[in-house]
Amino acid sequence: SGADFLKEAIIKLDEFLTSNNYKTRMQMNIHDEISFIFYLDELHLLPKLKAIMEELEGCYVPIVAEAEFTTDTWANKSEVHTVEDLVERIQYAKA
């Protein structure tokens, strides 16, 4: 089921982050979403984490992971397509 695929993705994400000694961590998962705490020097991880979430063995239907950014509430999320897009959202949030 979808919940099983999400659990597998969470395990793979955690293994990737911890085995490579990254500071970025998963904060929580809510339904079918995973919330991350990113560090500015690790924003380059976004495409890799997205790829891990989309590569699930035994799934014959393509999985598409989308990225969104917020600094406060879920209602204020905005979609992120690239690392550059994420950097722009962070700079805007700091202003």
pLDDT at 2: 75
Specify the 3-state DSSP secondary structure of 13. helix
pLDDT tens column, 34-93:
889 888 899 999 999 999 988 888 778 888 888 888 888 878 888 888 888 888 878 777
> Which DSSP helix (H) or strand (E) runs through 78?
strand 78-80
Each as own residue / partner, the long-range contacts of residues 50-57 (CB below 8 Å, 24 or more positions apart, any chain) are: 52/9, 52/12, 52/13, 52/16, 53/9, 53/13, 56/5, 56/8, 56/9, 57/8
- Residue 23: pLDDT band by 50, 70, 90 thresholds? very high
Q: What is the pTM of this model?
A: 0.81
Torsional sign, CA 18, 24, 30, 31: negative
